Chain A
Amino acid sequence: MTAAPQLLSDLQLDALTELVNLGVSRAASSLREMVRAQVHLSVPMVTLETRSRAIAILGEREASNLVAVHQVFEGDIAGRALLIFPETKSLELVRAITGGDLPLEDIIELEQEALAETGNILLNSCLATIANMLQRSLKMSLPEVLRGDAASFFSLAPPPELGDVVLFLFINFAVRERDISGYIAMIMDVPSLASLTHLLDEFIERTTGETVASLHDQA
């Protein structure tokens, strides 16, 4: 396992982190309406990894039984977005969302739907915020709940033609005294990463009023 190459500059990664934080903060507001209780959502860490490293990181940190909400996005940037939790946490998440006083059979019945809905809100909010702030539009598929391990989630067919990278967000989710940590992964191919890099530079220039070249000179 080799270290991930430096795929984005520090300022590009800072900009991307800011965008996903905006998206997740907005998702917290939407989820609050849905669950009628305060929702704490935070993103303690964002990293960009190669696919093999992303699989290794999840493999080291979590047991193999994972559940994911998966959506495909298309546009200037194309790829897949996944909200991933350990399977043991997914019922916990559903309890947190539904209020927790439902019998187990109801929770199991609701699990699929609640996961899809939560994933849809979180992933859409992140992707829509990134798209809006980068002044592009992205088309998103409907959410789909998957069960498996990291290797299977990151190797969904069809495989990318030109290799891919994983933008990895570590998220903490807390509602009604339940604390659940999970991941958002955005898998993009190399051409999409190149577009993203270019769009991030444009965004940085709009935001700071300086050219990226002059910012690199300052660094």
Chain B
Amino acid sequence: MPYTLLIVDDSKLARMSAAKALTTLYPDWSRVEAANADEALALANDTAFDIALLDFNMPGRDGLQLAADLLAVKPKMPLAVVSANHQDEVVAQARAIGAVFLPKPLTPQALEAFLKDAVARLPAATA
């Protein structure tokens, strides 16, 4: 079944790139986009999405803090934090809060693996 992906990145280009990869992998899925943590949290209150893809390095709250905030609202939502900064501490923090760490630049292969795993973790559709 089609799901909705939340893409959060302060770079419009990075959002366009993720959107292109998503459209290629899952043409029937929808997406919502936010340029920072505040916009993403506002969306979380009034828009339905199933999976989240978060840039780590953003002005204001970073992707790890946003991941924790989103999980407080939607505890079972699969989410990934994307960064070129693969320091052990960053990867470990992502795992500790229950997020997947994906290296930047994000490849369609890495996105596909994450989304497949995420779909497997989502509860079966009740509709």
Say whether A associates with B.
Answer: yes
Contact surface of A with B, Cβ cutoff 8 Å:
10-11, 14-15, 17-18, 21-23, 25-26, 28-29, 32, 38-39, 41-42, 44, 129, 133, 204, 207-210
Q: How far is the CA of A207 from the CA of B108 in the complex (A)?
A: 11
**Chain B residues in 8 Å Cβ range of A38:** 87, 89-90
Q: Report the 7 A-B pairs with minimum CB-CB distance, sorted nearest first.
A: A25-B84, A25-B85, A38-B89, A208-B16, A22-B84, A18-B11, A32-B87
Which residues from 77 to 116 on chain B have a C-beta closer than 8 Å to any C-beta of chain A? 83-90, 104-105
Known pairs A22-B84, A44-B59; A204 contacts B20 (CB<8 A): no
Known pairs A11-B13, A22-B105, A204-B13; A28 contacts B20 (CB<8 A): no
20 contacts between A and B (CB under 8 A): A10-B12, A14-B11, A14-B13, A17-B11, A18-B13, A18-B14, A21-B11, A25-B56, A25-B57, A26-B84, A29-B85, A32-B88, A32-B89, A38-B87, A38-B90, A41-B85, A44-B59, A207-B13, A207-B17, A209-B20
**Chain B residues in 8 Å Cβ range of A17:** 11
Chain B's closest residue to A23 (CB) is B84
**Chain B residues in 8 Å Cβ range of A11:** 12-13
Count of A-B residue pairs with CB < 8 Å? 56
Q: How far is the CA of A208 from the CA of B13 in the complex (A)?
A: 7
Set B16, B83, B90: member contacting A207, Cβ < 8 A:
B16
A136 → chain B closest CB, angstroms: 16
Q: Is the CB of A21 within 8 A of B17?
A: no
Chain B's closest residue to A129 (CB) is B84
Which residues from 16 to 38 on chain B have a C-beta closer than 8 Å to any C-beta of chain A? 16-17, 20
**Chain B residues in 8 Å Cβ range of A39:** 87
Q: How far is the CA of A23 from the CA of B86 in the complex (A)?
A: 12
Given A38-B87, A133-B105, list of 16 further CB < 8 A pairs?
Answer: A14-B11, A14-B12, A18-B13, A18-B14, A21-B57, A21-B84, A22-B104, A25-B57, A25-B85, A26-B85, A29-B86, A32-B89, A41-B85, A129-B84, A207-B16, A208-B13
